[in-house]
Amino acid sequence: MTNYYNKDLYKILEINYDATEEDIKHAYRTLVRKYHPDVAKNVDSLIFKEIQEAYEILSNEESRKKYDVLHRFYKEKIKNEFQKKSEKSKYDEFMKKRKQPQNQESFSKSINEALDSLFHSKKQEFKSKEDNIIINGEDINLDITLSCFEAANGTNRKVNILHTQPCPNCKGRKFINGAECSMCKGTGVISLQKKINVKIPKGVMQGSKIRVKKEGNKGLNGGRDGDLFLIVKIEKNPYFDTEGMNILVNLPITPCEAVLGCEIPINITDEVIRVKIPPLTSSGQKLKLAGMGIFNKSKTKRGDMIITIYIKLPASLSEREKELYTELSKYPDKNIRKDFNNAK
C-alpha cells in the first residue's frame, strides 16, 4: 500500500488504537468473513484489499510502530500547514473538500510532497524551517471499563499506553553527524509503551472523560505534551446498572421476605445502605432512595438509587420446607386472579 500512513488503518479494521495482537487477528477474521469477495458479491473488492493491507501492517509489531509514527506525523503535518497559513475557516474548507473524492488525487499529491520533504530529503542535517516546527503532542483517548462499584466509589487503575516521544538518541533531530538516526530511522520520534497509575475519582458516569495531564503523545521542538483521556465504560451485571447519576438495583428477595418484609444491606457505594422492604411486596415493585446514587463532578448533587424487587424462588426445597408450603397452600388467596379474569 503506498502512502498507507495517510489512512487510519485502525478505523479500517474497526479496532481501538491500543488493540492487542489478538484483537487485530480477531477483527481481521471477522471482516474477512464479512467482506471476502466470495461472500460479499456486491461489495467493492477494494474494501477487501484495504482490509488485507491494513492487517498486514498492523499485525507486524515493527511495521505497526512505524505506521503509528508516520500517521501521527501526517496528521500533525496537515494541522500545522493549515494553521500556519490561514485561519480556521480555510482549514475547515480544506477538510470539507478533502472528503469529496474528486479532490482526493490532488490532495494526496500535495500531502505526498509535504511528507517527502519531511522524511526523504537529502541525507544531511535539516536546515529548513520545517525542522523547527513546533509540534504539539496529540491527546490519546483510551476506553476504560469499570464496575458499577468502582464508578460510584472511585479506584486506582494501572493503564498501559502507547505514546510517541522525541527520539532519545538524536533528541528528535532525525540525523546524527549527517547520517540518519538508526534508532528512530530518521523520524525523530519513537513509540513507547508506558504503564501509569491513574486515580479514578468517585462518581464517574458512563461516558465520563478522565483527563490525565501530559500523558498523551510528547510534543516536538518545544510543543506542548498531549493529554491522556480515559473514557469510562461501566460494566453491566444483572444486579447493578447506572443511568446518569442514578444507580439501578435489581434486588432478589425470598418469598418469605416478600411476605413478611425485611431489611437488606446494600453496599454499592462506600456506605452501607439498609433498605427496608415492607411486608407484602410484589415482584417488579420499585423503591426509590432519593439522594443515594452517584455524585456529580462538583459533589453538589447526587442521583437516586432505584431498586426493583424481584422474588427469587429457592433452587430446591427440603422436606420440612415442602411441608410448610403445603400447609400454607391450605389458605389460598381467593382474590389473586380477580383482576386478571376481569381483564378480557
Q: How many residues bind Zn ion (CB under 5 A)?
A: 6
Cα 18-24-28 angle, rounded to 5 deg: 145
CB closer to Zn ion, 9 vs 170:
170
Residue 184 lies near Zn ion (rule: CB under 5 A) = yes
Shortest Cβ 65–Zn ion spacing (Å)? 13
Cα–Cα nearest to 36, from 15, 53, 14, 51:
51
| Of 23-31, 96-104, 113-121, 180-188: span binding Zn ion (CB under 5 A) | 180-188
Question: Three-state SS for 273?
Answer: strand
CB closer to Zn ion, 166 vs 226:
166
Cα–Cα nearest to 72, from 188, 170, 209, 214:
188
CB closer to Zn ion, 9 vs 167:
167
Shortest Cβ 170–Zn ion spacing (Å)? 3
Residue 221 lies near Zn ion (rule: CB under 5 A) = no
Residue 167 lies near Zn ion (rule: CB under 5 A) = yes
Cα–Cα nearest to 281, from 304, 306, 252, 305:
252
Give the span between the Cα atoms of 286 and 308, in whole angstroms.
Answer: 4
**Cell numbers placing 342:** 376481569
CB closer to Zn ion, 118 vs 184:
184
| Of 48-56, 140-148, 181-189, 282-290: span binding Zn ion (CB under 5 A) | 181-189
Residue 285 lies near Zn ion (rule: CB under 5 A) = no
CB closer to Zn ion, 184 vs 249:
184
Give the one residue of 60, 165, 169, 285 binding Zn ion; rule: CB under 5 A: 169
Give the one residue of 170, 200, 210, 266 binding Zn ion; rule: CB under 5 A: 170
| Of 122-130, 174-182, 270-278, 314-322: span binding Zn ion (CB under 5 A) | 174-182
CB closer to Zn ion, 161 vs 167:
167
| Of 54-62, 88-96, 176-184, 257-265: span binding Zn ion (CB under 5 A) | 176-184
CB closer to Zn ion, 170 vs 205:
170
Check: CB of residue 208 under 8 Å from CB of residue 232: yes
Residue 220 lies near Zn ion (rule: CB under 5 A) = no
CB closer to Zn ion, 175 vs 229:
175
DSSP state for residue 221 in the 8-state scheme = T
Residue 183 lies near Zn ion (rule: CB under 5 A) = yes
Check: CB of residue 123 under 8 Å from CB of residue 178: yes
* Burial environment of residue 5 by CB neighbours within 10 A (0 to 12, 13 to 18, 19 or more): buried
Strands 228-234, 140-146: parallel, antiparallel or unpaired by DSSP?
parallel
Residue 253 lies near Zn ion (rule: CB under 5 A) = no
Cα–Cα nearest to 3, from 91, 83, 115, 103:
115
**Cell numbers placing 116:** 517527502
Check: CB of residue 9 under 8 Å from CB of residue 67: yes
Residue 69 lies near Zn ion (rule: CB under 5 A) = no
Give the span between the Cα atoms of 268 and 317, in whole angstroms.
Answer: 31
Residue 181 lies near Zn ion (rule: CB under 5 A) = yes
Cα–Cα nearest to 173, from 188, 190, 189, 191:
188
| Of 71-79, 116-124, 168-176, 229-237: span binding Zn ion (CB under 5 A) | 168-176
Cα→Cα distances 263→52, 96, 292, 310, Å: 59, 61, 16, 15
Give the span between the Cα atoms of 212 and 15, in whole angstroms.
Answer: 23
| Of 34-42, 103-111, 164-172, 270-278: span binding Zn ion (CB under 5 A) | 164-172
CB closer to Zn ion, 166 vs 203:
166
Shortest Cβ 242–Zn ion spacing (Å)? 46
Q: Where do contacts with Zn ion occur on this chain (CB under 5 A)? A: 167, 169-170, 181, 183-184
